[in-house]
Amino acid sequence: MNNLERLNTILLVDDDDASNFLHSIFINKLDMDVNINSALNGQEAIDFILGKGQEQLELPCMVMLDLRMPVMDGWQFMNAYEELVPKKLKDQITIVLVTISDNKEDKERAIANQYIADFAQKPLSDETFKALIQKHYSLATI
């Protein structure tokens, strides 16, 4: 669990714009002061985390990572994350793998990955986000 004083930024990584939009609504419904950003694939997410193309880095505290995406899927993202993201940044990010699949192997692989803090089944709801945030951010007030 991250004992962060606040959850400042969430990065939604999903190739489905509608899912990113709905998840933003669910998070906003929790009435938290949090910035919500989105990426349509793993490559965009890596670029966001590393601050590529941005004037000032806004490191996400939580990454909601879809598994099945074009360009770079969730597992490819995790490989790039492990190789490219400095440890000091990794220590500040909670990754939640999000998938519609109920594939047992995906869940086992996620649990075995040291950088994946949790696994959530789609469809997500405001209650799902609330539970995940409270679980991983002990000082977050919702």
Instruction: From 132, 34, 50, 37, select the one nearest 88 (Cα to Cα).
Output: 50
- The residue whose two tokens read 């598994």 is 67
pTM (2 d.p.)? 0.89
pLDDT of 135 > 50? The answer is yes
| Amino acid at site 87 | K
Q: What is the predicted pLDDT for the residue at 13? A: 97
Residue 137's φ and ψ, nearest 5 degrees, are: -130, 90
pLDDT grade, residue 53 (50/70/90)?
A: low
> How many domains does the chain contain in total?
1
Q: Which domain does 43 fall in, by range?
A: 9-28+35-122
Q: Cα dihedral sign for 32, 123, 37, 60?
A: positive
Cβ neighbours of residue 73 under 8 Å, at least 6 residues apart? 41, 42, 67
CA distance 4 to 108: 27
Specify if 132 maps to a domain: no
- Whether residue 139 is predicted with pLDDT greater than 80 in this model: the reply is no
Residue 47 lies in a domain: yes
Whole-number average pLDDT of the chain: 87
* pLDDT reading at 2 higher than 50: no
CATH number of the structural domain spanning residue 99: 3.40.50.2300
Q: Do residues 122 and 14 lie in contact, with contact meaning Cβ atoms separated by under 8 Å?
A: no
Does 136 reside within a domain? Answer: no
Read off the pLDDT of residues 13-41 as tens digits, 9 standing for 90 and up. Answer: 999 999 999 999 999 888 888 899 999 99
| CA pair distance 28, 17, nearest whole angstrom | 16
